[in-house]
Amino acid sequence: MEEKIRDFFEKSLTENQIDNELYTTYSVKKGLRNEDGTGVLVGLTKISDVVGYKKENGEKVDDYGHLYYRGINVRDIIEAKRHEKRYLFEEVCFLILFGYLPNQEEFEKFKKILSSNYELPPHYLEANILGFPAKNLMNKLQQEVLMLYNYDEDPDNVGIEETLLKGIHLLAKMPSMVCYTYQTKVHYFDAQSLFIHHIHQDYSIAETILALLRDDGTFSKKEAEVLDVALVLHADHGGGNNSTFTNVVISSTGTDIYSSVAGAIGSLKGPRHGGANLAVKQQMEKVIQEISLQASDEQIHDIICRILDKQFNDGSGLVYGIGHAVYTLSDPRSDILAEKCKELAEEKNRLDEFDFYQRFAKIAIAEIYQRKGIHVCSNVDFYSGLVYDMLNIPSDLYTLLFVVGRTVGWIAHNIESKLYSNRIIRPATKYVGGIKEYEDIEKRS
């Protein structure tokens, strides 16, 4: 039967091929990209701005990258003196959702609302997570989000305020859903002991994740700080990234927030989007195993050439973690995460690995420029896997932590689209198949 399907498919390829030049003929933008690689404008936003280049005389010119949340440079947010603060991600969530920085009273109220919603509904853990383990955690997380629909007394209410409240509840519950889902998976499929810790409402979201994941529930101040920053850097990245756009497209039909977020999670699962951090980790493990951390720059250069020549790693010819669709000279998220990665490496006595990553990135960037004449940079995925590994976070959870950070961005864009666009997103495609006559099945040879 499967062989017959393959035969049908092979025949369909000859019948239905779309010639590449037709995209140019009809000015169709592949992947909603312009010829210079910039994204086709599909909306307006005041939530975040991703700056990777500048325009001079109408031409795209490479530039150092910047990321702004509600007009504030994310580096300024992270570098502000707040050594006594534990809730940086929560403050950024407020900024992204409401468009301004809260005063102390406003923030305390918001934090209390978040922490009071950390807990899952009564018996939810036993009925929906412990009772239904899954091997793929991203698919399972989609199911969990959709399951929460059944615990909502008015789930199809898509009013602005209702969407905001439901979104905040989802944001608050993400850490426990992610961690409990993982614990259940390793217990049932990897035969490990099951540790289910209670929620501490005075913990930040970053602290909650570390506490729930670890057998003893402990973590250092530096570990919590670095994870907090990682969540901040993943909180939003404009309305054009695939998962955020997916969320807005689904929401534009008038459906519920649970369906929109579940769809966005499905988008983020892909290796071209959120799954890229795991691809980097696997790539670097293979590289280090092949040449060791003590490899010379020449050895690193040689293995990068092998990757680019499709002779090493997965044969894709891609150096994962190097290059970005928008950023050219630098990805500010990568730069900031590299700084935090170094601080964590000092605490964990793993500076040799951090140094190797830095040398690898520098040599890869130079080699790609030599071959293609384009400026590329390390992206946020390049260091995130190393950071998570030093935090003893299992690789199964890398993309799920992306979900925890990005949920607030999905909610904000969902609401902004409802407020100011409020139309179903329905682009068009050009039919290029020609017209054929129908013939009765008995007459077909």
Residue 172: its pLDDT value, please? 98
Asked if pLDDT for residue 51 goes beyond 60, the answer is yes
Indicate the helix (H) or strand (E) that contains 48: strand 48-56
The answer to the question of residue 29 being in a domain is: no
Whether 258 and 302 map to the same domain: the answer is no
Residue 360 falls inside a structural domain: yes
Q: Are residues 108 and 234 in the same domain?
A: yes
Task: Identify whether residues 107 and 247 lie together within a single domain.
Answer: yes
> Does 362 fall in a domain?
yes
Pairwise CA distance, residues 151 & 161, whole Å: 18
Would you say residue 91 lies in a domain?
no
If pLDDT is split at 50, 70 and 90, which confidence band does 81 have? low
Q: Which pLDDT score, from 0 to 100, does residue 275 have?
A: 85
Burial of 112 (0-12, 13-18, 19+ CB in 10 A): exposed
Neighbours of 168 (CB within 10 A): 19
Name the residue among 241, 303, 298 with its Cα closest to residue 273: 241
Q: Is residue 5 part of a domain?
A: no
The answer to whether residue 295 is domain-embedded is yes
- Which of these ranges, 82-86, 107-111, 115-119, 165-169, has the smallest mean pLDDT? 82-86
Query: What is the per-residue pLDDT across 379-413, written as a single tens digit (0 to 9) for each?
Result: 999 999 999 999 999 999 999 999 999 999 999 99
Query: pTM of the entire structure?
Result: 0.93
pLDDT recorded at residue 112:
96
Helices (H), 149-256: 160-189, 205-213, 221-233, 242-251
Percentage with pLDDT > 90 across the chain: 79
Q: Which residues does residue 56 pair with via DSSP β-bridges, in sequence order?
A: 59
pLDDT tens-digit readout, 326-357: 999 999 999 999 999 999 999 999 999 999 99
> pLDDT value at position 38?
78
- Residues 114 and 229 reside in one and the same domain: yes
Structural domain includes residue 313: yes
Tokens of 365: 């960037």
> What length is written for the chain?
445
pLDDT, position 82: 54
Q: How many domains does the chain have?
A: 2
Instruction: Identify the pLDDT of residue 223.
Output: 96
Instruction: Judge residue 13's burial from the number of C-beta atoms within 10 Å of its C-beta, 0-12 exposed, 13-18 middle, 19 or more buried.
Output: exposed
Cα-based distances in Å from 277 to 136, 235, 378, 412: 16, 15, 12, 24
pLDDT, residue 443, reads: 81
pLDDT in tens, 186-219: 999 988 888 899 999 999 999 999 999 999 999 9
Is the same domain home to 321 and 179? no
Kindly state whether residue 14 falls inside one of the protein's structural domains: no
Mean pLDDT to the nearest integer, 7-34? 87
Whichever domain contains 146, its CATH number is 1.10.580.10
- Taking residues 244-261, what's their average pLDDT? 97
Residues 139 and 285 in one domain: no
Q: Is the same domain home to 145 and 238?
A: yes
Q: Domain range for residue 386?
A: 277-390
The phi and psi torsions of 65 (rounded to 5 degrees) equal -80, 150
Mean pLDDT estimate for the chain: 93
Q: Is the pLDDT of residue 83 over 60?
A: no
- The answer to whether residues 230 and 211 belong to one domain is yes
Grade residue 358 by pLDDT with cuts at 50, 70 and 90: very high
| pLDDT of 84 higher than 70 | no
Residue 51 φ/ψ, nearest 5 degrees: -115, 115
Query: Same structural domain for residues 209 and 358?
Result: no
Domain match, 412 and 364 both: no
For residues 183 and 159, membership in a common domain is answered with yes
The predicted pLDDT at position 347 comes to 95
Q: Are residues 137 and 270 in the same domain?
A: yes
Tokens standing for residue 315 = 């044969």
Q: What is the CATH number of the domain that holds 313?
A: 1.10.230.10
Confidence at residue 138, expressed as pLDDT on a 0 to 100 scale: 96
